[in-house]
Structure 1
Amino acid sequence: MNTDNNPFDPTRKLKSSPVPVLFIPFKNDEEKCDYCGIKYSKTLMFEQKYCKNCLFWYVQYITGNNTYLDAHINTNNSQCIKHKATRNNFNTTIIQEWCEYCSEILYFTQVLTKNSNCLHIYNAECEICNYKNRSDYQASSGWVESTLNKKFIPTLYLPWWDSCNQCIVCYKEFKYIHQESKSYCQKWCSRCFIIYTGCRYCLTTNIIFGIADQSQCKKCKRISFIRIDITDIRSGNCIIDELLDFLEPTKFYGSICIRNPIRSPYEVYSFIRNKPPTKGIVWIPYSQVTNLKKIAEGGFSIIYKATWGRTDVAVKKLRDSQNISKHFLNELRSFYQCYDYNFNVIGCHGITQDPITKEYMLILNYAEGGNLHDYLQKYFINLRWNDKLCILNGISYGLRNIHNNNFIHRDIHSGNMLLSSQQWKIGDLGLSQPANNTLSNNEIYGVIPYIAPEIFK
């Protein structure tokens, strides 16, 4: 449950609706209403979708002059069979005055539409709705308990309705959580572990940066229960799950708590999107990994090219890893410590397990350009000095990143230098160690031509 008990109303000038607002979609790419099946209409500005049929019934159910929605309505200047006179130049923000025959909705101030690439319509100085300067819309933050590790995770309470289809961080399509009640809407990103819950009585949204089992509307205090099948994000192995809890991607959002209220959607989503790329490593169900094709084989592992979702990935199967080995856990920790989007180390998406052999597998970024050894065999005679310097520059950045994280790679050779997205990066961190570790039993690892001579003394 929420640990922030301070009273706070995200939409001060609005009342919670007595009945759920069903005419605005939670999934903006749908063409037909999820409740009545009729095709959505669009507002004149911003093309926000809404269902006229469900809006008609909503207006019939509510009474009085309370303001439940921040809607901007005018007339289409036509003769109306419901009104005796034409309502020329008529405009209102009271949804009860909407007429199915002569009214047009300009826009809903509370509704954020489309996807994360369309946030520019809600810029910091919106001239249309003056959103930036409206003190009656305020975001706040708090903490809820994670169902994975019982630690507290950050939550944002937003005064608008989020109907975006994609994760603002990684652009992956949201998964929608089925709810028996029509009053609550939930979606989540299975890659970033970010949950969005919407309250249809208040048109507000909570963003939870982690896995939780419930969410409470900041305005009306209604609680919705979140039912995510955690078997898809847990391995069932206590050692790996404990490590995954530590590597959870959302732990980097602990600084998201807001001291000063943020009122613009643009500000909020820019803050989330402009955070450093999440370094989290997650459990990936084996069923999500398809089209495996063997491309290489080494002493400890077999490498496959595969597809995860719509992304090409490299799958590294560790031999005889049914029982968790120190090499497996070591490589996982090393990827986590050393990976940075901008610093030339191959990234790791997560872990999976072959259901037949029970061997564990790492899901890595796919290096479509291959390794440096093969690259030089093929292109060396055509390389210019600038090309060679570019290769050395990428490798140097990768090594610097590893060393800045107090790690030593211990297996550097041309087969572990990979070309990915036109950048040279370092891979295979399975033998890397913290710089202050001492080797037991005089262990020597690596490819002999690349090992420093003094190591053999």
Structure 2
Amino acid sequence: MASVSLNEWISKKIKEGEISYLDYSDLSDLRMIDKESGVKRANWVYGRAKLALKVLINNPTINEDNMNKLLIELNNLMKVNFHPCINTFFGITKEPSSNNYMMALQYANQGNLRDYLKRNFRLLQWAGKIKMALDIARGLKCLHARNIVHRDLHAKNILIHKNRLMIADLGLSKQLTVEITSTSYVEPQFFTVANY
């Protein structure tokens, strides 16, 4: 997969109908919501939805590792795009001014779990906490059923939209292709005592 450029791969997937293409002119009210990552919020006229637009770096000097992470994220999003507890991937658009491709994702109107808990933890009842845990578990179950391991799951990669938690940022996820086996039990003294 690394031998093909990001632009070539995206163009091919759009032509094959595997990725939907959203016309940039169908987006309005674009606002930067995270300067560090370059994520913008936009209204999608056609879909009547708010989107988060995540820039896919269109840089000829992008290193192979970062390109592979982007390709992995797109591939994994396409495999689990139907699940309500995983951030919805609507397709790809291209920003005319920069010529960068952008992923169009479900906008999370309540932000990420980390910030949400900072603001609302004292207000949460047990029923709400249990629902949150179940949303995360359902999203993980979907990923694992498709042999995808997230590998970077934390509160900032869990988004909240209309009180539903969604797992996001599948860039470090990995498709399991090898069998995982348990390590034999080793007594803790083995690691601390030289002549054990």
Q: TM-score, normalised by structure 2?
A: 0.77
Query: For the Cα contact (< 8 Å) 2:73–2:170, is it kept in 1?
Result: yes
Unaligned 5+ runs, structure 1: 1-236, 249-279, 438-457
Displaced runs of 4 or more, over 4 A? none
Aligned counterpart for 1:292 among listed residues 25, 30, 37:
30
Q: CA deviation at 1:390?
A: 0.8
Q: 1:327 and 2:76 equivalent?
A: no
The 5-angstrom pairing of residues 87-166 of structure 1 reads: none
The separation in 2 between residues aligned to 1:408 and 1:297, in whole angstroms, is 28
The 5-angstrom pairing of residues 376-455 of structure 1 reads: 376-436=117-177
The 5-angstrom pairing of residues 189-208 of structure 1 reads: none
| Counterparts in 2 of 1:331 and 1:297: CA distance versus 1, 3 Å | farther
Q: Secondary structure at the match of 2:38?
A: strand
Aligned counterpart for 2:91 among listed residues 350, 359, 374:
350
**Match of 1:77?**
none
**Match of 2:104?**
363
Query: For the Cα contact (< 8 Å) 1:331–1:431, is it kept in 2?
Result: yes
Larger RCO: 1 or 2 (CA < 8 Å, sep 6+): 2
Query: For the Cα contact (< 8 Å) 2:83–2:142, is it kept in 1?
Result: no
Q: Which amino acid aligns with 2:14?
A: L
The 5-angstrom pairing of residues 174-253 of structure 1 reads: 237-246=7-16, 248=17
Q: CA deviation at 1:281?
A: 2.9
**Match of 2:19?**
281
**Match of 2:181?**
none
Q: 1:337 and 2:79 equivalent?
A: yes
Q: CA deviation at 1:370?
A: 1.0
Q: Which amino acid aligns with 1:313?
A: L
The separation in 1 between residues aligned to 2:41 and 2:59, in whole angstroms, is 21
Q: 1:312 and 2:50 equivalent?
A: yes
The separation in 2 between residues aligned to 1:359 and 1:326, in whole angstroms, is 17
| Counterparts in 2 of 1:403 and 1:413: CA distance versus 1, 3 Å | same
The separation in 1 between residues aligned to 2:79 and 2:15, in whole angstroms, is 15
**Match of 2:38?**
302
Q: CA deviation at 1:384?
A: 1.1
**Match of 1:126?**
none
Q: CA deviation at 1:396?
A: 0.6
Q: Which structure is higher in helix share?
A: 2
The separation in 1 between residues aligned to 2:82 and 2:91, in whole angstroms, is 15
Query: For the Cα contact (< 8 Å) 2:43–2:49, is it kept in 1?
Result: yes
Aligned-pair identity in percent equals 33
**Match of 2:189?**
none
Query: For the Cα contact (< 8 Å) 1:316–1:363, is it kept in 2?
Result: yes
Unaligned 5+ runs, structure 2: 1-6, 179-196
The separation in 2 between residues aligned to 1:326 and 1:289, in whole angstroms, is 28
